[in-house]
Chain A
């Protein structure tokens, strides 16, 4: 009996196997795949956090076409050698020269330009244009305010943010990777300088407007620059403009002696309402009311005329001294 059963067993087993062979062999996930992958992942985790390696180290990397695409992406036309110098840092240039000297290459063709002059030119153009733009867009804001906004726009974080989002992180020749925000900011200045050299100052102005000034789109100007002592400043301005002495009045309050007290204070100058503000206590409410009044006087409110980013500023009123 057992013999019969074993023969039946073999036949039964044989049938699915050759049926599998007749059907186009379906390739399944092999059973060794998931344990192997798990082991690999475990080893990678054991190695700990790795330093991000540069994209330029990959096999599929062609620097010349990346430069070409960088220019075309922003639909500007650069001269490629100029653009390449804009991307090379001075430290990297020195390092390269030492290495080539060690290899004994003749001193003549050792020159490897770095982006310092281009960067200074770029800084110059960007600063001039941004000041002219702010003067044109926010005429009533005092010079201190315009200066604060301009310095915000030209600060290293904003420039680094813009530079990474233009895709320059991979193209920069610098000693350390990923490039620090100073190198990124300097590279953006160098790109502006290179652009003004290769296709004129007009294009450089448009570039600055389209990529740096647009960071102010729908931005709350109070976050960038809040006047320090709003009340005194308001007093001075009222005397200057002869609006009469500003005096706060309580417009409304609720939950007076509770934790969540709210006071609504309005500031009037000879019976004309200048600004309204809320606050937990009277002092803070008058503070916010004064800031609100200043905002209306300087036209810095959210509901002011929005920035016009399609505006062509003529070169003449951008002082390039």
Chain B
């Protein structure tokens, strides 16, 4: 199994642990990831507010680069996953935009056809690799560990392709395969406010606080997430939350880190040392 890999800026920066754990887990599963040659920033949500056409062109360049190989693209970052998919759809639906973007890409020597499939690691793990194969590699099940699964916004919304929009369950399936328990967590798709924490701290903090507090109340020892921005936001703001509201101290980890632990990969290899809130509870018993 081989895929193209679009890490995005976050996985090279604050979300480094996501990349480390993702590569480790996929490597253990024998899935090859080939990084897209000279990819650029997808534009994320911010650039859409500046220039729609350029925003599509930015993502378009990545898609055009990906089309040179006949492989599906894996985009682990929620924002990248959404933007790349949104671009495919937007260009297919708006002929005028399509014309402009294709022409501009041509000027840069790039050819966009709109043929590539952009997928999320959750989708690939459950639907391509399969839970059976994953279960077979679980050496050190996460028995007795309870997590709150947190999907955030941009994975199942607005295009629910591999899971339900209101109540996604893919992560639960994976964590169950890893031997862990999942608490009922009705906030699993509620926005964490990550894109606002830097600009409107009072707003972002409250959203993050609500999410963490509720997960704790429901008996989770950590929040398991799929998004580098959510992880950064929920992990990095706990200091300020302690000042403004109360001490919460809940580790925020990536689902790939939990899978990796259960597969017997070391904590440092999985970037589990990179959390600002230490992940001791998660590491208990190993």
Tell me if chain B binds chain A: no
Chain B interface (Cβ < 8 Å from any Cβ of A): none
